Amino acid sequence: MVQKSDAMLQYEKSAGELMKNKPKNSNERIMHLEVRNFVAVAAGIFVVLIAAATMMGY
């Protein structure tokens, strides 16, 4: 059996605590909001470009 150093044991303990206290699905929710905001901004820019093109007579 391999004996682990104190640093390795402390790392495993802290990693376990982080995983235990991590909110579930937080990354997926944040990523979904970022994509949603990106799509909203892109749609807004598209509408402004269409309005500008219409005013210029294209």
Domain boundaries, the chain: 24-58
Q: What is the pLDDT of residues 37-46, one digit of tens each?
A: 899 999 999 9
Q: Which amino acid is located at 51 in the chain?
A: A
**The predicted structure's pLDDT at residue 35:** 83
**The predicted structure's pLDDT at residue 42:** 96
Q: Give CA torsion, residues 53, 55, 57, 58, to 10 deg.
A: 10
Residue 53, both tokens:
């093109």
Q: What is the pLDDT of residues 13-25, one digit of tens each?
A: 888 887 776 666 6
Q: What is the reported pTM?
A: 0.45
